[in-house]
Amino acid sequence: MAQQIAAQREQELTLMAGISHDLRSPLARLSMALGVQPGIDEAARRRMESDIAGMNRLIGAQMELTRARQAEPTQPLDLCALLQDVADGAEAQLPGSVRLRLHANACAATLPPLALERTVANLVANAQLHGGGKLDLVCRRLRGVLCIGVRDRGPGVRADQREAIFRPFHRSDPARQH
């Protein structure tokens, strides 16, 4: 049974990689053609380029989700270094937005590194976007339990959205639903 599940997961990853390639190739051709096509209004060109970039991001996000489902192995991590990298990336996007608080007793753990980094980076990006511009990224142990927290100054998640936000690609704004 375990071998069947592993084979099915491998097939899913292979399928997604093929779909990704098959979709990205025409997008690349569209992007190149758009760059050399004369007579296109500049505003229209920017919208089309933005749409192509958005489609590429969606393909990348789907690939990341597929990879995340492949049960990334855990490994010993320096959480302080990983969280510092996430904070540095967020600061590059919005300088002065992140206050990082790391407690020495929380810097070592055995976790899946890519999944953890993606999760924390996504929480930080959402906090920057919706949380009033300033956030705290905290890592500590409380009564032996590792706690990583992202606290912003935004209005918070509406009660009716608290379960839904954990679904892949969910957006709280109904106008942005796919």
3-class SS of residue 71: coil
Q: Helices then strands (H, E): number in the chain?
A: 4, 5
Domains annotated on the chain, with CATH: 2-68 (1.10.287), 75-176 (3.30.565.10)
**What is the reported pTM?**
0.60
Whether residue 57 contacts residue 85, with contact meaning beta carbons closer than 8 Å, is answered with no
pLDDT digits 0-9 by tens, 22-42: 888 888 888 888 888 888 888
27 Cβ partners below 8 Å, 6+ apart? 52, 55, 56, 59
Distance CA 112, CA 116 (A): 6
Residue 128, judged by CB atoms within 10 A of its CB (0-12, 13-18, 19+), counts as buried
Largest interatomic CA distance in the chain? 65
Kindly report which listed range (69-78, 109-118, 169-178) carries the lowest average pLDDT score: 169-178
User: Which residue do the tokens 């009716």 mark?
Assistant: 160
List CB contacts of 131: < 8 A, sequence separation 6 or more. Answer: 152, 153, 154
pLDDT digits (tens, 9 = 90+) for 88-145: 999 998 899 999 999 888 788 898 888 889 889 988 998 988 888 789 999 999 888 8
